[in-house]
């Protein structure tokens, strides 16, 4: 039977910006192999599969074109957007997701969709791990959490101008590398970029889960828990972040670009 699917641009309020995610609604439990084939076919950073549970929650899984991942912000934002937009959830009802990273939720705010995610704080590393050579820039800080490497550079201009060696980044062995610096514009507190060649994503346009790390990091440096980040990829996107203990509230907007039926 056909499965409804959507493509949604997340962490943006306009089409053809932010990070595109494919959302597939299923009413059975597809095989991992089938979901991976679909994700490869969709060929966006993440394809999310949503299955309704009794009680109103949804099982949610995320796949890049080559592998399943444990946490994804932009596809969760896109999934919640689809549930409200097409009436699967009534306006104002909280979206609840059971995932590989535990229970996540999203709710509608006045301006943003707000998502409750785990904080993923980084711990400073003593070794350089070849990152200066891989990035072509000298880090002022290197840390890591269970998912990614976090690198601070000297300026927003340096972050924006990076042309990393993807082969060298892939050999580092983590899910991805977050690169960040303090923003020069008053509109944002920090900027970032995210590289995950090991998972088939040379550069991710906007990475919600990276902000689970960026939020706590910049809160400590700037002394504020409510922040706004800009991911300076070619498409670009804005992520609001509010840190509350071991949780992070991610804030974003989303726009549906297309809808259809998956016949495979």
Residue 118: what are its φ and ψ, rounded to 5°?
-75, 140
Selected catalytic residue, list 33, 46, 124, 127: 46
**Residue 239's CB: how many other CB atoms inside 10 A?**
29
Structure tokens at 81: 């957007």
Residue 74: what are its φ and ψ, rounded to 5°?
-70, -35
The distance between the two most distant Cα atoms of the chain, rounded to a whole number of Å, is 53
Contact 46, 23 (CB under 8 A): no
Q: Is 46 a catalytic site residue?
A: yes
Angle at 64 between CA 13 and CA 86, to 5 degrees: 45
**With helix as H, strand as E and coil as C, how does 175-196 read?**
CEEEEEEECCCCCCCEEEEEEE
Assign 92 to helix, strand or coil: coil
Which residues are annotated as catalytic? 46
């Amino acid at each position: 039977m056909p499965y409804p699917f959507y493509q949604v641009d997340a962490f943006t309020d306009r089409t053809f910006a932010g990070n595109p995610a494919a959302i597939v609604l299923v009413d059975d439990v597809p095989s991992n192999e089938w979901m991976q084939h679909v994700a490869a076919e969709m060929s966006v950073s993440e394809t999310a599969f949503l299955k309704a549970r009794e009680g109103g929650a949804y099982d949610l899984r995320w796949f890049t074109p080559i592998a399943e991942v444990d946490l994804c912000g932009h596809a969760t934002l896109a999934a919640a957007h689809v549930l409200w937009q097409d009436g699967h959830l009534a306006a104002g009802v909280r979206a609840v997701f059971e995932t590989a990273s535990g229970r996540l939720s999203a709710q509608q705010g006045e301006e943003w969709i707000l998502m409750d995610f785990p904080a993923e704080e980084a711990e400073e590393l003593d070794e350089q791990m070849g990152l200066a050579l891989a990035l072509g820039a000298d880090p002022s800080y290197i840390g890591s959490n269970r998912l990614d490497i976090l690198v601070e550079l000297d300026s927003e201009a340096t972050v924006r101008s990076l042309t990393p060696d993807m082969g060298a980044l892939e050999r580092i062995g983590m899910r991805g590398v977050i690169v960040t610096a303090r923003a020069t514009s008053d509109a944002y507190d920090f900027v970032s970029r995210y590289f995950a060649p090991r998972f088939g994503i040379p550069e991710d346009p906007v990475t919600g889960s990276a902000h689970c790390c960026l939020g706590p990091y910049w809160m400590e440096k700037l002394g504020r828990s409510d922040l706004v980040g800009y991911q300076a990829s070619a498409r670009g996107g804005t992520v609001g972040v509010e840190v509350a203990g071991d949780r992070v509230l991610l804030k974003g907007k989303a726009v549906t670009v297309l809808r259809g039926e998956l016949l495979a």
